[in-house]
Structure 1
Amino acid sequence: MNTDFLKSFVAVVEHGSMAEAARRLNLTPAAVGQQVRALERDMGTPLVKRLGRTVTPTESGDRIVERARELLGQVADLRSVANDATLSGDLRLGAGPNALLGMVPDILAGLVKRYPGVSVYVQPGYSMDMHPAVQRGELDAAIVLQSPVALPKALGWQLLREEPLVVLAPAKWAGADPHELLSTQPLIRYDRTQWGGRQAEQYLRKAGIKPRERFELNALGAIAVMVDRGLGVSLVPDWIRPWPEGLRLARIPLSLPFEPRRIGLIWSRASLRLRLVEAVREEAMALFPVPGGRARRGGR
Structure 2
Amino acid sequence: MDRFDQLRILTAIVEGGSLSEAARKLNITPSAVSKQLSQLEDRLGVRLFNRTTRKLSLTDEGGVFYERARAILADLAEAEESLASQSGQPRGRLVVDAPVAFGRYCVAPVLGEFLRANPEVHLDLRLNDRLIDPIEEGVDLVIRIGQMKDSALIGRRLSKSRRLVVASPDYLKKKGRPKTPEDLKAHACLLHSLRRPQSEWQFMKEGGGVESLSLAGAFESVDIEVIRVLAIDGLGLAQLPVWLVARDLESGALEEVLSGHLSPDPDIFTLYPSARHLSPKVRSFVDFLVERFGGERAWWATKL
Question: Given the two structures, how large is their TM-score scaled by the length of structure 2?
Answer: 0.60
Q: Is the 8 A contact 2:97 2:141 kept in 1?
A: yes
Q: CA deviation at 1:111?
A: 1.7
Q: CA deviation at 1:158?
A: 1.8
Task: From 187, 196, 215, give the equivalent of 1:185.
Answer: 187
Do residues 101 (structure 1) and 104 (structure 2) align? yes
- The separation in 2 between residues aligned to 1:103 and 1:264, in whole angstroms, is 13
Aligned to 1:26: 67
Secondary structure class of the residue paired with 2:243: coil
- The separation in 2 between residues aligned to 1:159 and 1:23, in whole angstroms, is 42
- The separation in 1 between residues aligned to 2:234 and 2:65, in whole angstroms, is 51
User: Which residues of 2 match residues 157-236 of structure 1 at below 5 A?
Assistant: 157-171=155-169, 173=172, 176-191=178-193, 194-195=194-195, 198=197, 201=200, 203=202, 207=211, 209-236=213-240
- The separation in 2 between residues aligned to 1:124 and 1:26, in whole angstroms, is 27
Gaps of 5+ in 2: 1-62, 73-77, 205-209, 298-304
Q: CA deviation at 1:108?
A: 2.1
Task: From 114, 117, 137, give the equivalent of 1:114.
Answer: 117
Q: CA deviation at 1:104?
A: 1.7
Q: CA offsets, 1:120-146, max 9 Å, x none?
A: 1111101x423x2x1435211122113
Q: CA deviation at 1:181?
A: 4.4
Amino acid at match of 1:93: V
- The separation in 1 between residues aligned to 2:277 and 2:117, in whole angstroms, is 20
Q: CA offsets, 1:139-189, max 9 Å, x none?
A: 1112211346x2313x11122231233212122649641425411111111
- The separation in 2 between residues aligned to 1:237 and 1:23, in whole angstroms, is 48
Aligned to 1:140: 140
Distance 1:254 1:243, change over 3 A: closer
Secondary structure class of the residue paired with 1:277: helix
Distance 1:137 1:156, change over 3 A: farther
Q: Is the 8 A contact 1:170 1:250 kept in 2?
A: yes
**Which one has more relative contact order, counting CA pairs under 8 Å at least 6 apart?**
1
Q: CA offsets, 1:78-115, max 9 Å, x none?
A: 43233x56321111111111221222224422221221
Secondary structure class of the residue paired with 1:27: helix
- The separation in 2 between residues aligned to 1:222 and 1:243, in whole angstroms, is 16
Aligned alpha-carbon RMSD (Å):
3.9
Secondary structure class of the residue paired with 1:203: strand
- The separation in 2 between residues aligned to 1:223 and 1:124, in whole angstroms, is 18
Larger Rg: 2
Q: Is the 8 A contact 2:232 2:254 kept in 1?
A: yes
Question: Given the two structures, how large is their TM-score scaled by the length of structure 1?
Answer: 0.60
Q: Is the 8 A contact 2:158 2:269 kept in 1?
A: yes
Aligned to 1:56: none
Amino acid at match of 1:201: E
Distance 1:103 1:204, change over 3 A: closer
Amino acid at match of 1:112: L
Number of paired residues? 222
Q: Is the 8 A contact 2:188 2:236 kept in 1?
A: yes
Q: Is the 8 A contact 1:204 1:210 kept in 2?
A: no
Aligned to 2:242: 238
Q: Is the 8 A contact 1:102 1:242 kept in 2?
A: no
Q: Is the 8 A contact 1:145 1:261 kept in 2?
A: yes
Gaps of 5+ in 1: 1-21, 33-73, 293-300
Task: From 259, 269, 272, give the equivalent of 1:267.
Answer: 272
- The separation in 1 between residues aligned to 2:212 and 2:244, in whole angstroms, is 28
Secondary structure class of the residue paired with 1:87: coil
Aligned to 1:51: none
Distance 1:87 1:258, change over 3 A: same
